[in-house]
Amino acid sequence: MSDDTSITPAIAGASGGLPDPYGVGFEESVSQLELTKEEWERIERIRIRVGALVSNPFFVAFQNISGVLIALVALSGVIAPTVVSPLMGFAFIIFIPIFIVALAPSFIAAESSWRAFSLRTSLWEQGGMRGGKRTGLKSRPGMDRIAEGLRDGRRNNGFAITMASISMLLFFFSVGLSTDGIAYNLALLIVMTTGLGFSFHAIFTNEYRKRYGDFLPYLMLHSPTHRPTQLNTILGDLVVAHLDPDSELDWRDWEGRLESSLLSGVRPLQARERMLYLLYLHQIGTLDTQEAIRELQQSIRSRSLADLLLDENAIFNWRTLQRVVSHAKAWQPEVFQLLDRLQSDLMVCSPSTSKGGWRMDLALDNVHEGGTGHLFIALNNQTKKTQHVRVEVIIPGGEPESRDHRLEIQSCIGPKSPLPLTDPLKKDVLDYIPQYLEKGAILWLGVAWKRGFKGQKVVQVILKDDDGTVFKSRVINAHDAMNEAQLERMRTRRIHLARAIGEMALPTATSPNS
């Protein structure tokens, strides 16, 4: 046999690549994902533009009076039929564009909001958002409430369109009727009823329309139904507890950017508390822009400050951070009373901070009609070492009447003399408060009294160690609130004010306080 005859062994798969188990064209799923993202971005632009129009006060007023106008014309047709009847056809033509203008923007805003919600949640689930992360957004706590709020907006539009359609149909029907007949008067009577119904419905649902066009689209629809009992970092954890699930994902990304922007040796949680508190003080006018930036530069690199806080295209910047802090304050203003008292104690060197030991402060919101409320217990360990303590809450006539919590709280030594709010040369209040916020704790407890409870509602809080030695004991009286609807209106007003803060222009390093 000749030696130049070679035999090549057959090896499976040696002649080509591995077979595609998903079939031809599977790789196109990436482009489909990109198309979905492009569609979401297009719908998002429509949502913001149309939402800005719908929430405009002039458009709100126009929509509110549209039904009243057709009701007044119908009333005139009943009172003076011989004068008004010849003009009914012309009036019908006029009301067609009026109702189209009154209804179309709200309809587009509601539908684009729902479409954007569906696309965005789908993109998160398919890994089409930042970094390709897959997140089941719809299953996160609170998303069901957000979806229901968006559906409410669509239902409201459906009712408004029905009222307007009935009004216009019967108005058109009355044009060809004899003014002496019952049908004419009955048709105009129904037009008056549906027209006024349209306007009253528009007035009662103004709140829904004002939520459209928000750059944080789900924040105003979210309610903190799931929250921690203990806020470990007081201000930051409170803000996160009131963020909607979608914004919370963006918040985690922002925290990563913050950590990479810090000066060497700065603790990330303490820097976050310091930043949020400084922005809060700037928002309420205690600090001007220059003072706030100077204080921020003590923990953040100067070259990173603009990208972190002054980027208009960033989801979280100077103004939106102020907004989420104010949004949390709109829900729980009592916590900010605790912060204001802490600041005051440090500035005047009150015994609660200067004598060491334990500092305990309480806040209780107004008790609702159903006998429920929220109790906040702020704790700071001003001893020289980290300790375990027990907090016993006693509520006479409450459900339950007693509860016990065990905590570990880090040491945070307080000042021994009064402090200025800001001082570039020595430690000031703005140096101490972030430490108190990071190392302290706030218990956020729901309280309730038995139905039909008579008498003064009192809560007693006892702070003690594991051996039963009592460190502090405080009593706070509960105040019965106004009815639930009034509380909701007050909270909603504060939430809208918080949104207005987020939509203000960003400050600059050379601008005065704004």
Report the pLDDT value the prediction gives residue 19, as an integer from 0 to 100. Answer: 55
Report the pLDDT value the prediction gives residue 259, as an integer from 0 to 100. Answer: 92
Per-domain boundaries in the chain: 27-209, 234-331+483-514, 334-481
Span 146-174, average pLDDT: 92
Least confident of 189-193, 288-292, 411-415, 475-479: 475-479
* 385-409 residue pLDDT tens: 999 999 999 988 888 888 999 989 9
Rounded alpha-carbon distances, angstroms, from residue 495 to 106, 150, 223, 435, 490 = 21, 18, 12, 28, 9
The separation between the first and the last C-alpha atoms of the chain, rounded to the nearest angstrom, is 97
H or E element in which residue 508 lies: none
Closest CA to 47 of 126, 89, 110: 110
Span 315-328, average pLDDT: 94
Residue 91 phi/psi, 5° resolution? -65, -40
Instruction: Give the DSSP per-residue string, 212-234.
Output: TT-SSTTTTT----S--SEESSH
Q: pTM for this one?
A: 0.85
Report the pLDDT value the prediction gives residue 96, as an integer from 0 to 100. Answer: 93
* pLDDT beyond 70 at 440: yes
Closest CA to 167 of 107, 102, 105, 82: 102
59 within 8 A of 103, measured Cβ to Cβ: no
Report the pLDDT value the prediction gives residue 481, as an integer from 0 to 100. Answer: 63
* 101-120 residue pLDDT tens: 999 999 999 999 999 999 98
* 185-227 residue pLDDT tens: 899 999 999 999 999 999 998 888 888 888 999 999 988 878 8
Closest CA to 177 of 91, 89, 90, 95: 89
| pLDDT tier, 482 (very low <50, low <70, confident <90, very high otherwise) | low
Q: Is the peptide bond before 86 cis (omega within 30 degrees of 0)?
A: no
Burial of 220 (0-12, 13-18, 19+ CB in 10 A): buried
Closest CA to 220 of 135, 326, 375: 326
Burial of 199 (0-12, 13-18, 19+ CB in 10 A): buried
Residue 364 phi/psi, 5° resolution? -130, 125
Report the pLDDT value the prediction gives residue 141, as an integer from 0 to 100. Answer: 84
3-state secondary structure of 11: coil
Looking at this protein, which amino acid is placed at residue 344?
S
Report the pLDDT value the prediction gives residue 509, as an integer from 0 to 100. Answer: 60
Distance, in Å, from the CA atom of 255 to the CA atom of 275, rounded to the nearest integer, reads: 12
* DSSP H stretches of helix in 393-483: 429-439
Report the pLDDT value the prediction gives residue 392, as an integer from 0 to 100. Answer: 93
Sign, CA dihedral 288-294-296-300, equals: positive
Q: At what angle do helices 57-79 and 29-54 cross, to 10 degrees?
A: 60
Report the pLDDT value the prediction gives residue 82, as an integer from 0 to 100. Answer: 81
Report the pLDDT value the prediction gives residue 368, as an integer from 0 to 100. Answer: 66
Query: What is the number of H-type helices and E-type strands within the chain?
Result: 17, 8
Least confident of 18-32, 169-183, 326-340, 464-478: 18-32
Report the pLDDT value the prediction gives residue 129, as an integer from 0 to 100. Answer: 75
* 41-63 residue pLDDT tens: 999 999 999 999 998 889 999 99
Percent of the chain with pLDDT over 70: 91
* 337-372 residue pLDDT tens: 999 999 999 998 888 888 888 999 999 887 666 677
Span 76-103, average pLDDT: 89
Question: Token pair for residue 12?
Answer: 């499976």
Report the pLDDT value the prediction gives residue 1, as an integer from 0 to 100. Answer: 45
Span 480-495, average pLDDT: 79
Q: List, in order, residues 6 or more apart from 511 with CB less than 8 Å away.
A: 289
In angstroms and rounded to an integer, the radius of gyration of the C-alpha atoms of the chain is 31
CATH 2.60.40.10 fits 334-481, yes or no: no
* pLDDT beyond 50 at 511: no
Q: How many CB atoms lie within 10 A of CB 445?
A: 20
Average pLDDT, the chain: 86
Report the pLDDT value the prediction gives residue 138, as an integer from 0 to 100. Answer: 80
Report the pLDDT value the prediction gives residue 398, as an integer from 0 to 100. Answer: 84
Q: Return the half-sphere exposure (C-beta side, CA atoms, 13 A cut-off) of residue 108.
A: 20
Looking at this protein, which amino acid is placed at residue 307?
D
Rounded alpha-carbon distances, angstroms, from residue 387 to 381, 384, 391, 414, 465 = 8, 9, 13, 16, 8
Strand pairing category for 372-382 and 441-448: antiparallel
* 2-55 residue pLDDT tens: 455 555 454 444 445 555 555 555 555 456 788 888 898 999 999 999 999 998
